[in-house]
Amino acid sequence: MSIRSLLVANRGEIARRIFRTARDMGITTTAVFVEADANAPFVVEADVAVRLADGGYLDGEAIIAAAKATGTEAIHPGYGFLSENAAFAQAVIDAGLIWVGPQPQVIATMGDKLAAKRAAVEAGVPILPSSDDPTADSAIGYPLLVKASAGGGGKGMRVVESAEALVDSVAAAQREALNGFGDDTVFLERYVATSRHVEIQILGDSHGGLVHLGERDCSIQRRHQKIIEESPSPVVDADMRAAMGDAALALGRAMGYQSAGTIEFLVDDESREFFFLEVNTRLQVEHPVTEEVTGIDLVREQLRIAGGEPLGYAQDDVSFTGHAIEARLYAEDPDNGFLPAIGTVEAFAPAADPVVRWDSGIEQGSVVGVDFDPMLAKVIAYGPTRTEAAGRLALALERLHMGGVVTNRDFLSATLRNPAFLSGDTTTDFIERV
C-alpha cells in the first residue's frame, strides 16, 4: 500500500527536505506551522498548510487532528520535537494513520539509555563499562562520565575527573536532566578521552529485510553537538566497517527494527575499539552524507517501508562510492562561545559553483529568533576523495552571499581547510584542541 498523502510534523529544512522526496513520489504534502513560521518556505511549498495553536510542534493531539481534518494518511515526524516520542507514535497509529518511523515500543526502549544498553548487551554488542548506580564509581574508574538516562544533545552530561567531584557532578546532571527531560535518572560510564563518534545507518522493513548503509563520522562537535559530519569515516577500513555493521544489524534484528535508524558508537582513537552509545529511532540531521555515498534516498525508503513495501535489496547490493561531508550552518557566534544569534536574513544566495547540496530552511527575509534551534541550513559536498569534498564544501561556504545574521560560516570553512582536519585527525576534542 503506497502512501498517497503525508503530513510532516516539523518545520524548517527537514520539512522541506521530506516534502521534496514526497513530491517526487507523487505524494500530497501537508505542513503544520506556528504563527512565527507562517511565511516560512516549508509552509509555502506544501500542498496544504494548517496553523497550530499555542502547543505548536509539541502538540501531538493538534497535529493528529490536522492530519484527520485534511484527510492525510501518514505522519512523518522529521527529527527533534515529537520524533522520538513513543506515546505520539502510538497515538498516530491509534488514530488510524500511518506512522513513518519505527514501532512505538522500539522508540520507548531505545529512548531509555539504560534499557538500550541492556538490549545491546543481549544482542552481543560491545558497551563501555557502566553502572546504573551513580555512586558505584570504583567499578568504572576515572575519568568517568555522568549521563542522563533520558538525555541527548550533551544535556545532563558531566565529565568527572576525581571521586571528590562525583557527588556535585551527579547532582548537577540530575538537575539538568530533570529540567530538560522530566527524568532525573543518571548513570555512570567510562570516559574515553580521545575518541570518535561514529554511527551506522540501518534500514529495516516489515518483511524481515535489514541492511546497513555504512558509517558516518560525527566527531567534529561543539558542546557535544555535531557541526561537521562525513561518510565514510577517515579511520574506518573495510574490516572495521563490516564489524560495526554486523553489530548494528545484530541490535536491529533483535529489535525487529522497521524504518531508518542509527546505531551510535564511541570509537577509542588509539585502540580502534568501538562501544555502543545509543540508538536514534528517527532520521538523523546528517543523513544526506549517507545518501550521497550510497545513492539511496533515506526518506524515500522510510515512506516505502511505512507503506508496507519490502526493501527489495540485500546487504550485498549496497555499495559505497566517493566521499561526502556535511556542515551545519548555524546562526551563532563562534567568537562568543557559539552563543545563538538572532536577526533578519538580509541576503541568502548560494553560489552556482561549486555544485553542492543545500538543505536550508530559510530565504531572504526570514526572521531568526530564539524560539527554535538556530540551524539555518546544511551544506553537503560530494567528491571522489575526502580532500576534494572538503575543498568543495569550504569553497561553497566562502562563496555564499549571506547577510543580516551572524553565523558560523567562517569557522566551518576554516575547520575544513585546517591541516589537522584534512589529515583525518578528527577526534571529538578537535575544536578544543585545534
Q: Which residues contact 425 (CB under 8 A, 6 or more apart)?
A: none
* pLDDT at position 224: 86
344, 239 contact by CB (below 8 A): no
Pull the grid cell for residue 11. 518545520
Q: For residue 363, give the 3-state DSSP assignment.
A: coil
328-340: average pLDDT: 96
Mean pLDDT taken over the chain: 96
192-198: average pLDDT: 94
Q: Looking at the predicted structure, is the pLDDT value of residue 43 above 80?
A: yes
Q: Looking at the predicted structure, is the pLDDT value of residue 207 above 80?
A: yes
* pLDDT at position 113: 87
- Measured CA distances, 15 to 75, 191, 283, 299, 422 (Å): 12, 36, 12, 11, 32
Q: Looking at the predicted structure, is the pLDDT value of residue 151 above 80?
A: no
Indicate the pLDDT class of residue 33, thresholds 50, 70 and 90: very high
How many residues comprise the chain? 434
Q: Torsion over CA of 107, 111, 115 and 116, rounded to 10 degrees?
A: 80
Query: What domains does the chain contain, in order, with CATH numbers?
Result: 5-100 (3.40.50.20), 129-190 (3.30.1490.20), 195-433 (3.30.470.20)
- Give the pairing of strands 5-8 and 225-231: unpaired
Q: Looking at the predicted structure, is the pLDDT value of residue 193 above 90?
A: no
Q: Looking at the predicted structure, is the pLDDT value of residue 114 above 90?
A: no
* pLDDT at position 260: 99
Alpha-carbon gap, residue 126 to 120, rounded angstroms: 7
Note the pLDDT tens digit of each residue in 253-310.
Answer: 999 999 999 999 999 999 999 999 999 999 999 999 999 999 999 999 999 999 999 9
Alpha-carbon gap, residue 174 to 146, rounded angstroms: 9
Indicate the pLDDT class of residue 38, thresholds 50, 70 and 90: very high
126-136: average pLDDT: 90
Q: Looking at the predicted structure, is the pLDDT value of residue 8 above 80?
A: yes
* pLDDT at position 150: 85
* pLDDT at position 223: 86
Q: Looking at the predicted structure, is the pLDDT value of residue 154 above 80?
A: no
Pull the grid cell for residue 14. 527537514
Q: Looking at the predicted structure, is the pLDDT value of residue 172 above 80?
A: yes
- Give the pairing of strands 259-268 and 274-280: antiparallel
Question: pTM of the entire structure?
Answer: 0.92
130, 145 contact by CB (below 8 A): no
